[in-house]
Every structure is written in C-alpha cells, then in structure tokens.
A and B are shown apart, each in its own frame.
Chain A
Amino acid sequence: SYELTQPPSVSVSPGQTARITCSADALPKQYAYWYQQKPGQAPVLVIYKDSERPSGIPERFSGSSSGTTVTLTISGVQAEDEADYYCQSADSSDTYHIIFGGGTKLTVL
C-alpha cells in the first residue's frame, strides 16, 4: 500500500495564491480528488478527477497534476477559504481501496 503526502500547513495573505500539494507513487494511475473541511462541518468536494470543478465551487479553486504530484491552487484567497484540505485517491496496487492524504491546514493571515 502507499500513502498520500500533504504538507501539514500552508499560510497565505488574502488575495494571494495558495498551493497545496499531494504526492504519492501511484497517482499517475489514479485521479486525485480534493475536499475542503471547515471546523465542525462535513468535507465538501472542491476538485474531482485532478482538475474538474463541481458546480457551485468558485472558479478560484483549480487542480493540476504533474508526475506523481497533484496540486490544489486557490487564486485570490479569501478569508472564508481558511480550512483543512484533504486529497483523496485510490490504491490499486493490491486490493483496491480508497485513501486520503493527512490533510493541510490553510491559514489566511
């Protein structure tokens, strides 16, 4: 099995661009997905299939993939974007199962 590795924390000032990375050996074989979770709330899907944005998610949220690393980019960060962000993918190396990264706390300074 393998793990998805995220930085524990990222800090940006309002209006700047935040980039949160997620890396693992198997990512090129599986898509990555991103969730935003605010305190006391359930996670919300913000990016699916590496770079697709669900309806209702602001355009400032985008996703990209390069090699074994996927990146969630939030352009023009707003105070309301402060939250935990989790990447998710799947381990298909043995028995297929779903995995999450450890999460990244985005702080808006």
Chain B
Amino acid sequence: QVQLQESGPGLVKSSETLSLTCTVSGASISSYYWSWIRQPPGKGLEWIGYMYYSGSTNYNPSLRSRVTISVDTSKSQFSLKLTSVTAADTAVYYCARDRQVAGGGRVENWFDSWGQGILVTVSS
C-alpha cells in the first residue's frame, strides 16, 4: 500500500521560498506521476503541478512563474519549491500519486493516494 508523507517548515516568512518534501513508500517513484495540491484554510483544492521521474513537469498556469517540482529517486522523494510567497499561499499542502494516462488523443490525471497534508503558514 502506497504511503506519502509531507515534511518541511510549517512557517515561512513573506517573500521567502516555501520548500516541502514528499517521501514515498510502498510504490516505485519511477513508475508514476506525482503531484502537489494545496488547500487554503476553509477553501477548496488547487492543483499546483505534477512531475515524472524523468524530470518532465507541468504546472498550474497561475503559479508557473513561482513553482519548481523536482525528484530525488535515490531517496524516493519529490519536492516543491514556491518562491516569493505571500499570505495567499497559506494552505495545507498535499502530495499525491497522480495516475496519469494518455490515449485517444487526450491525457487524463487523477489522484488515488494522498499524504496527510502539512499546514504552511506565511507570516509577515
């Protein structure tokens, strides 16, 4: 059974860089796509981006200029960096296994396993 665990600072200062890591167990990180998703307090879900172990990435257009997702296959981890954070970036950040499939001229993504989430607060 796949398990994901987010880790990183729970408090980040405004204008600095948010850095989180997701550790994967029970599944090969090289066999799937992996995503970051966030949820501001009391609000809905927002997809941040996904990556494949080869280095291929895709980001939410609204965050693309500030986001980098990378992988360390030797540690079975993938990471999120979000630069120039503001209070609007305060959220619970989830990592998730992304079951991307492609065929018939289209791509499909869905998330079948999630980490427990980590609250990151941006302070001024």
Q: Which residues of A contact B (CB under 8 A)?
A: 1, 29-31, 33, 35, 41-45, 48-49, 54, 86, 88, 90, 92, 95-103
Contact = CB atoms under 8 A, between A and B. Distances in A.
Given A43-B45, A97-B60, A103-B44, A90 B107 contact: yes
A100 B45 contact: yes
Contacts of B109: 90, 98
Given A100-B44, A103-B45, A42 B61 contact: no
B61 A33 contact: no
B60 A42 contact: no
B61 A95 contact: yes
A67 B101 CA distance: 23
Contacts of B47: 88, 97-100
B106 A92 contact: yes
Given A45-B111, A97-B60, A86 B44 contact: yes
A96 B111 contact: no
Q: Which of B45, B58, B59, B116 has the most CB of A within 10 A?
A: B45
Contacts of B46: 100
A21 to B, nearest CB: 16
A43 to B, nearest CB: 6
B34 interface: no
A30 B108 contact: yes
B108 A45 contact: no
Interface in B12-65: 35, 44-47, 50, 58-61
Nearest to B46: A100
B114 interface: yes
B110 A88 contact: yes
Interface in B103-123: 106-112, 114-117
A102 B45 CA distance: 7
Given A29-B106, A42-B114, A42-B116, A96 B58 contact: yes
B106 A1 contact: no
